A = this chain, B = another copy of it.
Amino acid sequence: MKLLEERILKDGKIFPGNVLKVDSFLNHLIDVDLLNKMGEEIYRLFKDCGVTKILTIEASGIAIAILTAQFFNCSVLFAKKSKTSNLSADVYITSVKSYTHNATYRVQVAKSYLKKEDKVLIIDDFLANGEAMRGLIDLIEQAGATLVGCVAAVEKGFQKGGDDLRAKGVRVESLAIVDSMEDGKIVFRKQ
């Protein structure tokens, strides 16, 4: 998505360790107008897929999921992170490793809000190793629901999460794929 790529080039900041900070418009301060246009683009990509629910994970995925849901006219379910082992019969639980925070979270959704008949689109802000996406897919499988596809605002194409999922047959659409960011120069994958 050209508008997003331009914004990343303009306002994204590169830090050592291949860290790309986009917190001036995507995941701390939020440019609602830009995210709205991203939601419109996601709708264009998946509008014929019968999406009934958007699934995301707290906290940074919520904004883009909510704005996208307006186009699909569907509800948003956000999975909750917990470090405690809150075993309950009422929730689907998976575990997600965060490389950023060097921690493993239990991630859960209430069973009553994810149904077998749901056609679910996963949306998150970032896709790198794919840990969060795999966790959310696991929750959908536990519920017996249908995975329509996965969307990331920004994918780090030089990490393997997105391409691994594609190799498994999952439809993964990222609005911008950063294939390299060496020497402070961001190169996007042609889509």
**B-binding residues in A (CB < 8 A):** 23-24, 28-33, 35-36, 58-59, 62-63, 66-67, 69-70, 73-78, 80, 109-110, 112-113
Known: A62-B63, A66-B66. Is A75-B110 also a contact (CB below 8 A)? no
- Bound complex: CA A32 to CA B80 (Å): 18
- Taking a contact as CB atoms under 8 Å apart, the answer to whether B110 and A32 are in contact is no
- Taking a contact as CB atoms under 8 Å apart, the answer to whether A28 and B110 are in contact is yes
Query: Which residues in B have their C-beta under 8 angstroms from that of A62?
Result: 59, 62-63, 66
A selection of 5 A-B contacts at a CB cut-off of 8 Å is A28-B110, A32-B66, A32-B70, A59-B62, A63-B76
Closest to A32 in B: B69
- Taking a contact as CB atoms under 8 Å apart, the answer to whether A76 and B32 are in contact is yes
- Taking a contact as CB atoms under 8 Å apart, the answer to whether A77 and B31 are in contact is no
A122 to chain B, nearest CB (A): 15
- Taking a contact as CB atoms under 8 Å apart, the answer to whether B109 and A32 are in contact is no
- Bound complex: CA A77 to CA B29 (Å): 4
Of the candidates B29, B69, B73, B78, the one whose C-beta lies within 8 Å of that of A59 is: B78
- Taking a contact as CB atoms under 8 Å apart, the answer to whether B69 and A66 are in contact is no
- Bound complex: CA A110 to CA B27 (Å): 12
- Taking a contact as CB atoms under 8 Å apart, the answer to whether B76 and A29 are in contact is yes
- Taking a contact as CB atoms under 8 Å apart, the answer to whether A28 and B80 are in contact is yes
- Bound complex: CA A67 to CA B76 (Å): 13
Query: Which residues in B have their C-beta under 8 angstroms from that of A75?
Result: 29-32
Query: Which residues in B have their C-beta under 8 angstroms from that of A80?
Result: 28, 59
- Taking a contact as CB atoms under 8 Å apart, the answer to whether A23 and B66 are in contact is no
- Taking a contact as CB atoms under 8 Å apart, the answer to whether A28 and B109 are in contact is yes
